[in-house]
Amino acid sequence: MNLPIHVTDSRDGARLLVRVVPRASRTALAGVVGEGETAALKIALHAPPVEGRANAALIEFLSELLGVRRTDIAIAGGEHARTKTILIRDRTAAEIAAAIQQALTVPG
């Protein structure tokens, strides 16, 4: 599997980079930005970046996308930035990569 983003294993679970675009017309996957270890999953969020609403919307969206509980997802870096490091607890990089690959190849 040749995933265009970099997902890594850590002691606590899998980590990946995401690039959020707040105040989009709808919440959806928007592709991939960057290459190699700096490649990030681009996610458009309907929520504004005010009072943590965009971060909450991001966690909810990733929970549904990856099939994990919201409590298993944490923003490990970049909480106030557009590029964020996401930790998915108790999951391997292979499991998360497979879920993302499926989401990127499913139309619509």
pLDDT in tens, 42-66: 999 999 999 999 999 999 999 999 9
pLDDT more than 70, % of the chain: 95
Rounded alpha-carbon distances, angstroms, from residue 17 to 39, 48, 53, 62, 107: 7, 20, 19, 12, 22
Token look-up 């490091």 returns 85
- Decide: pTM greater than 0.85: yes
**Helices of type H across 12-92:** 53-66
Going by the DSSP 8-state scheme, the letter that residue 107 receives in this structure is: -
Q: What is the CATH number of domain 7-105?
A: 3.30.1200.10
Estimate the share of the chain in helix, then strand, then coil, as percent rounded to the nearest 5.
Answer: 30, 30, 35
